Structures are given as structure tokens and as C-alpha cells.
Amino acid sequence: MGDKQIDFLRNDDFILWQLTGDRELEARWQAYIADNPSAREELEAAIRKFSGLRLTSTVLSDSESAGLRQRIHTSVARQAKKQRIRRLIQYAAAACLIAAFAGTLHYNYTRKEKENVVQEMNDLVIPSGKRSQLELSDGTKVWLNSGSVLKFPTTFQGKTRNVYLVGEMYAEVAKDPDKPFLVHTPDFQVKVYGTRLNISAYHDNRSQSVVLVEGSVGVKTETEKETLLAPNDMLVRHNKHWDKKEVDVREYVSWKDGYMLLNHTPIDRVLQRMERYYNLSFTIQDTTETVSRTCTGKIYLSENPEDVLAAISLLYSIRYTRNENMISIHYEPLNR
């Protein structure tokens, strides 16, 4: 694929033209071809390539899906296999600044060079308050939580299946004993042997964990040996150390179905999830009284954070005041 074709596929006006069929943009691109006839072939190839893009199922409403047409942007990366993960993450973050990507785009092509096979990589960026689902080329199903970035190839090549994650994902990994599935994060790597699991790898260290639902996985960091997990095991990071414990996995995977499952869950843990999901910031007043409260039940992840705040205020007997994204939580006596 030529460099000019890549430039077209990255161009915001080109993407909007292809998505909306806008007459003004149509005239602009026709004028461009008239002035640059040598670019016609590359432009037509870019149009054919773009028509092969496929938007898979998400949790967006019909109106949001329509609005998504104005916000979709994909990055076309040409990354060698040995390139550093942090470089990949920086590239994905740059793509996120260009547009809030809430669906899945697949480029259905690969490119062979004389000495190396270079995988064309795709970025999926999930904005705050949204979730998305996609199926990878090997049949692996992935759910991505709010504020997550996943980098994945159009087709898996070589002896391993590699994806790169910042954020949180739940995955049902297709079994392939001859081709392990590897999830790379900035701080650890998960080797999957055909399984269902949840990985949390946000930038803040409070959110580093692996929860195994079914199958087996191995978790490895730069400084520690591989730790094997069994079903219902959770490996969680505290400061710079990792601890393994047995948990009710439903509490950690319910987000993919649109709700938080609580089981004597303290309020500070719920607020931490809300901070990440809705891009909010909480301050707890009367800390001792408020933090000691727990709750059991379900909180549905509404598109409107006010609905969730109202539910939390009732469940935990608290009140809140809000100033844009800054929310102050106040203690309320339980015997009101």
C-alpha cells in the first residue's frame, strides 16, 4: 500500500466524505483529482480499502451510532514486531486525541516485504462512559471498558497472537495450543491458553489485576517469574507487589453486561470504578463514617452518570454535590 494511500486513509476530510457522502466534500475531492491527476489511482485504491472497513457491534444507541459517523478515525500503523510496547501505547494515545473511537475498524489486508512480514495494526479507543465489543481474526471475542485502548493486528501471524492493552478488557480467547495468545500491557504480560478472563491495566496502579473465569493463564512481569492462575483466582497489584487470592469473578466481569455487581462492596471501591468509567473526580467528606459503609446489589451503568450517582446515594445513604466533573460525597446518618 502506497504512502499516499495511507495519507488518504488518515485524512479526516476523506473519512467524513466516505462516511457521509457530503456534497461539498465530494466537490472538494473531485477538484483535488482534477488538479492532481497522478493521485487518482491511489485515491481510488483508498476508497476501495475504506469500503472494506467493518463496524462491529457496540453498546451504542442508534442516535450515538449516527453521531459516531462524525467522530470515527483510525490509525494505520506500520510497526515492526520488536518495537517497544510503550511506543505502541503512545501511538494509540495520539490517535485518541484525534477522535473518540467507539466502534471497531478492521483493515482487511496484510503486507509482505522481502525480509519481514509487517502486520498492519488497528487501534480501538473507547471514550469515557462507553463500552465496545469486537471479534478478532482468530475468533477471540473481546469486550473493552471505558477509557481503554487496544492495539491488534488484522490477522495474527507468526507463532504467537499478540495484542496490546491499556485499560480493561474481558476476553473469551479462541483455543489454539500451537499459537499462544499474549496480552501485553505497560507493566505485565498475560499468556493465555484458551480461556475466559478479565484484565485491568489502566495507567494508575490501583487498577492492575487479572481475574480468571475459566481455563488457565500465566502472568509475568519484568521482575517476577510467571504466576499461574486457576479459575476464580485474582492476581492484583498492591504498590509494586502482586498478590493472588480467590474471588467471586462475577464482581469483576459484570461491567461487560452493563452493571456493577456489589457484594459487601465498600463505597470507595465503587467510586473508583465510577471515576474511571465516567471520567469523574470524587472527594469523600466525613471519611471514616462514609468509607466504612458497604452494599450488596446491582448498579446499572447508565449513560447518564447522574442516574448512577442517585442510585449510589440511596444504597449507601450519602448525599453528593457536583461541580462539573468534581463531586463531593457527604455522610448522611443511616437513621434519617
231-246 confidence digits (pLDDT tens) = 999 999 877 788 899 9
Q: Which long-range contacts (CB under 8 A, 24 or more apart) does 171-176 make?
A: 171/140, 171/141, 171/142, 171/143, 171/196, 171/197, 171/198, 171/199, 172/140, 172/141, 172/196, 173/140, 173/197, 173/215, 174/136, 174/138, 174/139, 174/140, 176/138
**Is 195 in the same domain as 68?**
yes
291 and 325, same structural domain? Answer: yes
Q: What is the mean pLDDT for each group of 10 consecutive residues in the chain (336 residues)? A: 68 69 77 87 78 43 46 37 36 34 34 48 88 93 93 91 95 92 93 89 79 93 84 88 91 92 87 87 76 83 87 84 88 60
Final residue of a structural domain among 215, 250, 285: 250
210 falls within a domain: yes
The label of the residue with cell 469523574 reads 280
With beta carbons less than 8 A apart as the criterion, state whether 190 and 202 touch: no
Instruction: Kindly state whether residue 65 falls inside one of the protein's structural domains.
Output: yes
Query: Is residue 336 assigned to a domain?
Result: no
Same domain, 129 and 238: yes
Helix (H, G, I), strand (E, B) or coil at 143: strand
**CATH number of the domain that 226 lies in?**
2.60.120.1440
Do both 229 and 279 map to the same domain? no
- The answer to whether residues 285 and 318 belong to one domain is yes
- Indicate if 267 and 307 belong to the same structural domain: yes
208 and 63 part of one domain: yes
Q: What is the pLDDT of residues 139-171, one digit of tens each?
A: 999 999 998 999 999 999 889 999 999 999 999
Domain contains 290: yes
Domain containing 7: what range? 1-51
Q: Note whether 177 and 84 are same-domain residues.
A: yes
Measured distance CA(57)–CA(59) in Å, rounded? 7
Phi, psi for residue 275 in degrees, rounded to 5: -55, -45
Q: What is the pTM of this model?
A: 0.63
Same domain assignment for residues 233 and 267: no
Q: Based on the structure, what is the number of domains in the chain?
A: 3
Indicate the residue type of 88: L
Same domain assignment for residues 40 and 97:
no
Tell me: do 244 and 313 sit in the same domain: no
